[in-house]
Amino acid sequence: MVNEMNLEEYKGVFVFAQQVDNELSSIALELVGKGKDLAKDLGTEVTAVLIGSGVKDLCTELAEYGADRIILVDDPELKEYRTEPYAHALAEVIKTYKPEIMLIGATAIGRDLGPRVSARIHTGLTADCTQLDIGDFPINPIPGKEQKHNQLLMTRPAFGGNTIATIACPEFRPQMATVRPGVMQKAPRVEGAQAVIEEFNPGFVPDHKYVEILKIVKAVSDVEDIMDAKILVSGGRGVGSPENFKLLEDLAAAIGGTVSCSRAVVDAGWKPKALQVGQTGKTVRPHVYFAIGISGAIQHLAGMEESDIIIAINKDETAPIFDVADYGVVGDLNKIVPVLTEKIKEARANK
């Protein structure tokens, strides 16, 4: 491979600190947390790259969640996310600061920004990672082939969650990955923690690649973020009808949980996409996950199997959801769920 890069020049773990409407997205702090672990393994620091307009205030939060350094690109052109000015900002940060690792959230923003930037700077990008480690490549030594150390090993599901692949990027820098939201853990917040802040502005000259935003339409909904819920009461096609979700809503209210659903329910138009768990929905890891009338397609399992306790209720005893459930109950949800709700209310009232 023709490669003029001097890999030794590239140092440090960088994370893209995604913000929307001048609020940090959860993934920004998750990446700072994971970046800190990787930086520790490499004996280096974690740097957050904060891009936006009037976003300097967010540096405090990034520092308190563990960023050692923040590179701030603040410019009026960056008020709303648009591919080109953001790609320009991040690509110039990479060219100037030369990180060895660059992590980006696998969000609707990051999955556009990441590939555009990786193509511009000519490096590899691994999509939707669910695990990141520092290790050797090849993993086991192969005679006649150099085994490189301190490589970023990026693990991700493929083929709709049927397989797992671990990818490396040994010859190019930075090693870039987009990371599934909700998978990595934030570090504990340390009040008053400080980070070094460096302001950087590569200049923004609009050209044909700058698209114009004619209108911004925000979804009017007060749906809770299912990724933050400690208890999820999740329903599938087996619930039978949108009206019957009332049973799940009552159970959620009694136990202090939030309702979520499978893809089939969203496709049927019973619930909004924001509540969908799975490969094309959200990855969740609540303390308790109730899977009610969910058969457990592999794409669904990929989004919830890291939950601490999985309780499944399904009529079909061969449903694949039982393969991952800690407690599986074969039975009719219509008969079980309402009684369960009442029992939980009683138990809580008696405490």
Using CB under 8 A as the binding rule, the residues of this chain from 13 to 32 that contact other proteins are: 20
Residue 3 burial by Cβ neighbours in a 10 Å radius (0-12, 13-18, 19+): exposed
Radius of gyration of the chain (CA): 22
Binding mask 311-330 for other proteins (x = CB under 8 A): x-x---x----xxxxxxxxx
Q: Site residues for other proteins, window 215-274 (CB under 8 A)? A: 215-219, 221, 231, 255, 274
| Euclidean distance between CA atoms 130 and 55, whole angstroms | 28
Token reading at 217: 């339409």
Least separation in angstroms between CB 179 and other proteins? 13
Determine, following the binding rule CB under 8 A, whether residue 125 of this chain makes contact with other proteins. yes
Determine, following the binding rule CB under 8 A, whether residue 167 of this chain makes contact with other proteins. yes
| Euclidean distance between CA atoms 297 and 130, whole angstroms | 19
Determine, following the binding rule CB under 8 A, whether residue 153 of this chain makes contact with other proteins. yes
| Cβ count near 342 (within 10 Å) | 13
Pairing of strands 131-137, 148-158: antiparallel
Output the CA angle 180-86-107, nearest 5 degrees.
15
Least separation in angstroms between CB 147 and other proteins? 11
Least separation in angstroms between CB 308 and other proteins? 9
| Among the residue ranges 31-39, 46-54, 68-76, 334-342, the one whose residues contact other proteins (CB under 8 A) | 334-342
| Among the residue ranges 38-46, 50-58, 164-172, 191-199, the one whose residues contact other proteins (CB under 8 A) | 164-172
Asked whether the beta carbons of 176 and 16 are under 8 A apart, the reply is no
| Interacting residue with other proteins among 86, 292, 301, 303 (CB under 8 A) | 301
Asked whether the beta carbons of 258 and 136 are under 8 A apart, the reply is no
Least separation in angstroms between CB 44 and other proteins? 21
Binding mask 169-208 for other proteins (x = CB under 8 A): xxxx-----------------------------------x
| Among the residue ranges 35-43, 44-52, 210-218, 242-250, the one whose residues contact other proteins (CB under 8 A) | 210-218
Helix 110-121 / helix 83-97 crossing angle, nearest 10 deg:
50
